Structures are given as C-alpha cells and as structure tokens.
C-alpha cells in the first residue's frame, strides 16, 4: 500500500510545488513531517502508527502554493474545515488518503517503555510494535499504546481525497459515545474544579497546543499574546492559564474536529481535548452539526439567524 501511495505521489508531483507526508525522525520511534519536492524524496515516505502529526496545520500558511498533503481520516476533517472557512483553496491542494489503523500515543509508549531514550529499531505490523532499545526489546500491541481518539474513530478513511490508495477500512465505532466526558462529568462540581485547577496549574504557557492546532489560524495575532485586546495577562498563576484554554476551546466551538493535536502536542500531558469535546457535544446537541465533514456547510456559530430551529426563544 505504501508503494502505491508513493507511486501516486510521484505521478502528481510534477504538477505540485511539493507534497507533505511523514518520514523518519531523529530516531526510529519518531516520525517527522516530510516535504517531498523531488521523486527521490518520496522514497523517504513512511505510513503507519507513528504518523501522529496532523499536517493540515501547515496548509493555511501555504496559501498560494500548489501543494499535496497525505492525510489520515482525522487529518482530512481538518482539511475540510479549512476549505469551509476559505483558508485554503480546493484547487491548490491535492489530497492523498489511505486507510488508517490508528496511531500511537507517545505518552503511553513512554510509560510502557521506560528506556525509550535510545531506540535502535521499531518494527510495526498488524499486531503492534516491536521496539528495540539499547537495553531491551519491547513487544507492544497497538491497542495498548493507541491514542484515545483512535479507539473511538468514526472516519479511518479520508473524508475528502483526490487519490485514495488501499482498501477502505470499517470505522472503529459507529458513534462516539463520549464515555470519557460522561465519566468526567459524573463527578461533583468541587472535584471537577479541583481537577482543572491542578491540571491547568501545570501549564507552562508554551502554546504548543495552539501551534499544533490546524484551526488556530490567528497565528501572530493570537489574543494570548496581545495587549490590545488584553484578554490574557503576563501574570503567573492558574487564572490566566485557564483563561487561555477556555478562549481556545470557545474559538474552536463548532469548528474543532477533535483531531487531538492540542493534547498530543502538550509537553505536560494536560487533557485539554476534553474541554473541546465538551463543546463538541453541546454544538452537536444544539445544532445537530458535526464539523469537518462538508466543505459547503456553514458552521452554526459562523452564521446569523434571527431564530435558531433548536433554540426556542419565542412561542411562535
């Protein structure tokens, strides 16, 4: 399948400035974004559970160039969202899709493989990963170290693609039951507040969550680093950290595709995706809307209606 993907990229490459995919990073355990300008670059392409990054985050800054992008199912929803918001032009982007069996959660691997500092080799197959370090060899099943979002994946195949290779895979689940959110919300107010206060207090304000988010499109103009408007101050303390996360979540309401990049990028492992998942359920229940599926749809919070069908303010 990887060969087919490479072939199809090579075939399209002459028409494109470059194609984004994944290649091997600084060690065999870490993939890294790969920019393919020449056919020989394509030979470095990898596909598998280590392709954790959502490359759609780079697309808006490439507006005006003609680029190709390799996407997993979840990444493709971000592309749809960017198309919908006019941040990229459909004719300037060529999308390569392939079925995804799920990606790993590096935090889980770090826990399972305490000596993952010097990795000699990683072999992946249908059953999982074999990681050989300088001390030991670890056999891990994919289920053990899979990212949480993949356990509830509804779109393993790209929802939009110009070139799709391989057999389409059945979704992992029919519907996301939001069990994580439900169990979190079953706690009392005090517990939930204490949880967030503790978690948010660990934030180091590196803004990796924001920078990894494909839909955080304000870039240099983010309100987190602006004096006018001055929403977030330079003060140290949980208040401003929490404020930023709430702003981020609110800006994502109705746009977030729950790709999980914010949480993956967080060096402190703060579960910030949970906030976005909460707003996702609210939007879904209120507007019967799922983001990142239809480039022609209008997200409910980016429209003005005198009367919302589902919000009855008046009795007529």
Partner 1 sequence: MRIGVFICHCGSNIEGTVDTAEVSRIARDYPEVAFATDTMYACSEPGQDGIIEAIGEHKLDGVVVASCTPRMHEATFRNTLERAGLNPYMFEMANIREHVSWIGKDREANTNKAADLVRMAVEKLRRNQPLIAKEFDINRRVLVIGGGVAGIQAALDCADAGLEVVMVERESTIGGKMAKLDKTFPTVDCSSCILGPRMVEIAQHPNITLYACSEVDGVSGYVGNFSVKIKKKARYVDWDKCTGCGECVEKCPSRKAPNTFDEKIGPGRAINIPFPQAIPKKATINAEYCIKLTKGKCGTCEKICPSNAIDFQQQDEIITEEVGAVVAATGYDLFDWTVYEEYGGGRYPDVITSLQYERLLSASGPTGGHVKRPSDGKEPKNVVFIQCVGSRDKSVGRPYCSGFCCMYTAKQAILTKDHIPDSTSYVFYMDIRAPGKLYDEFTRRAMEEYGAQYIRGRVAMVYPDGKGNMIVRGADTLMGRQVEVQADLVVLAVGVESAKNSPQLAEKLRISYDSYGFFMEGHPKLKPCETNTAGVYLAGACQGPKDIPASVAQGSAAASKVIGLFSKEKLKSDPQTANVDIKRCIGCGKCVLTCPFGAIKEVDFRGQPKAEVIETVCQGCGICSSTCPQGAIQLRHFTDNQILAEVEAICRF
Contact footprint for partner 1 (CB under 8 A): 85-87, 217-219, 221-223, 226, 228-231, 251, 298, 301-304, 306, 314, 316
- What is the nearest approach in angstroms of partner 1 to the Cβ of residue 305? 9
- What is the nearest approach in angstroms of partner 1 to the Cβ of residue 291? 14
Q: Which is nearer to partner 1, 86 or 188 (CB)?
A: 86
- What is the nearest approach in angstroms of partner 1 to the Cβ of residue 218? 4
Residue ranges with strand state E in the chain: 18-24, 31-36, 67-71, 93-97, 119-125, 128-133, 137-141, 163-164
Q: For 105, what's the count of Cα atoms within 13 Å in the CB-facing half-sphere?
A: 21
CB 116 within 8 A of CB 158: no
Q: In DSSP terms, which residues pair with 63 in a beta bridge?
A: 65
CB 276 within 8 A of CB 252: yes
Q: Which is nearer to partner 1, 36 or 232 (CB)?
A: 232
- What is the nearest approach in angstroms of partner 1 to the Cβ of residue 257? 16
- For the four alpha carbons of 242, 260, 271 and 283, in that order, the dihedral sign comes to positive
CB 54 within 8 A of CB 259: yes
User: Rounded to whole angstroms, how far apart are CA atoms 93 and 144?
Assistant: 35
Q: Which is nearer to partner 1, 137 or 226 (CB)?
A: 226
Q: Which is nearer to partner 1, 223 or 286 (CB)?
A: 223
268 closest CA partner among 185, 209, 224, 180? 209
Instruction: Compute CA 278 distance to the chain's CA centroid, rounded to the nearest angstrom.
Output: 16
* Residues in contact with 256: Cβ distance below 8 Å, sequence separation at least 6, in sequence order: 215, 249, 276, 279, 280, 291
Q: Which is nearer to partner 1, 142 or 256 (CB)?
A: 256
Q: Give the three-state DSSP class for 69.
A: strand
- What is the nearest approach in angstroms of partner 1 to the Cβ of residue 216? 8
- What is the nearest approach in angstroms of partner 1 to the Cβ of residue 189? 19
Q: Which is nearer to partner 1, 23 or 299 (CB)?
A: 299
Q: Which is nearer to partner 1, 116 or 217 (CB)?
A: 217
- What is the nearest approach in angstroms of partner 1 to the Cβ of residue 278? 19
């Amino acid at each position: 399948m990887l060969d087919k993907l490479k072939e199809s990229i090579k075939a399209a490459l002459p028409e494109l400035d470059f194609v984004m995919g994944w290649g091997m990073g600084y060690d065999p355990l870490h993939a890294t974004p790969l920019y393919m300008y020449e056919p020989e670059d394509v030979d470095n392409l990898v596909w598998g559970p280590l392709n954790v990054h959502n490359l759609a985050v780079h697309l808006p800054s490439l507006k005006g160039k003609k680029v190709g992008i390799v996407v997993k199912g979840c990444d493709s929803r971000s592309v749809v969202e960017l198309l919908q918001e006019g941040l990229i032009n459909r004719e300037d982007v060529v999308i390569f899709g392939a079925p995804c069996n799920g990606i790993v959660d590096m935090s889980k691997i770090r826990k399972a493989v305490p000596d993952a500092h010097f990795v000699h080799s990683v072999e992946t197959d249908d059953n999982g990963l074999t990681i050989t370090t300088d001390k030991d060899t670890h056999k891990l099943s994919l289920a053990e170290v899979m990212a949480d979002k993949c356990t509830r994946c509804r779109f393993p195949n790209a929802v939009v693609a110009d070139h799709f290779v391989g057999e389409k895979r059945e979704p992992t689940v029919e519907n996301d039951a939001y069990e994580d959110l439900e169990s979190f919300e079953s706690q009392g107010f005090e517990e939930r507040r204490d949880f967030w206060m503790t978690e948010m207090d660990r934030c180091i304000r590196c803004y990796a969550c924001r920078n990894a988010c494909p839909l955080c499109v304000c870039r240099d103009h983010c309100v987190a680093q602006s004096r006018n408007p001055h929403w977030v101050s330079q003060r140290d303390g949980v208040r401003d950290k929490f404020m930023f996360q709430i702003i981020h979540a609110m800006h994502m309401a109705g746009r977030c595709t729950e790709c999980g990049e914010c949480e993956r990028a967080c060096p402190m492992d703060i579960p910030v995706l949970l906030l976005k998942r909460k707003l996702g359920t609210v939007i879904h229940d209120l507007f019967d809307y799922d983001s990142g599926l239809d480039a022609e749809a209008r997200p409910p919070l980016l429209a003005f209606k005198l009367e919302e069908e589902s919000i009855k303010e008046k009795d007529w």
